[in-house]
Amino acid sequence: MTKEYHQSDYLPPKGAADLLLIRHGRTEASRPGESFPMVDGHGDPALHPMGEEQAILVGERLKKDAISAIYVTTLRRTHQTAAPLARHLNLTPQVEPDLREIRLGDWDGGEYRIKAAEKAPEFMRAIEREEWGEIPNAETTQQLHDRVRAGLLRIAAAHPDQRVAVVVHGGVIGAAMSIASGARPFHFNGADNGSISRLVILGDTMWVKGFNDCTHLG
């Protein structure tokens, strides 16, 4: 009988960490003249009811995965998004501060959304030049990438041969995908709330294995 050779399923290399990057759920809206609470210079809105539902759906999607750890950032929207999955898996989320959202300087606290909707000149320059530093007193794109890379490598080094859920922010996912793929800095910006992207990391080498999976959100 002739021997048959079939296509094989992907398996991460031995010693690699398999990171699921989950964008937090939708947050409460910005309003002119009002600021979100601030944590270490970052706006800290709570989840909107739609975001709470997205968090539940993320938990349902991943509750049967062999996830060894859950990471969140210093901002409460990631904690709230991680909570349903943490309950399913009986895991206590750990905090990785370097994966917090872009520091938006004078526009943090909710102002960024308003300026973006108004197409303020600084926002348009930031998009055109792929440079967050065009926003007054914001961190630069390079500063963001440096700390996101450090945070990802720290998590990966702690979890060889394990799958880890990492609940983060849209700007962080964009940076992570750019770092891993070599794409332009803003190429992967725009991951949806509640979406799941995937990185495999071994040493300082990263592979993109998924981006903006929203099938669980309906």
Give the residue numbers annotated as catalytic, written as ranges.
24, 101
Residue 106 burial (CB count, 10 A): 13
* CB contact at 8 A, 135 and 104: yes
What is the residue type of 12?
P
What tokens were used for 140? 């630069």
CA–CA gap between residue 79 and residue 36 (Å, rounded): 16
- For residue 98, the tally of other CB atoms under 10 A from its CB is 18
CB crowding 144-165: b at 16 or more within 10 Å, else e: bbebbbebbbebbeebeebbbb
Phi first, then psi, for residue 187 (nearest 5°) are -60, -35
- HSE at residue 15, side-chain half, CA atoms within 13 A, is 7
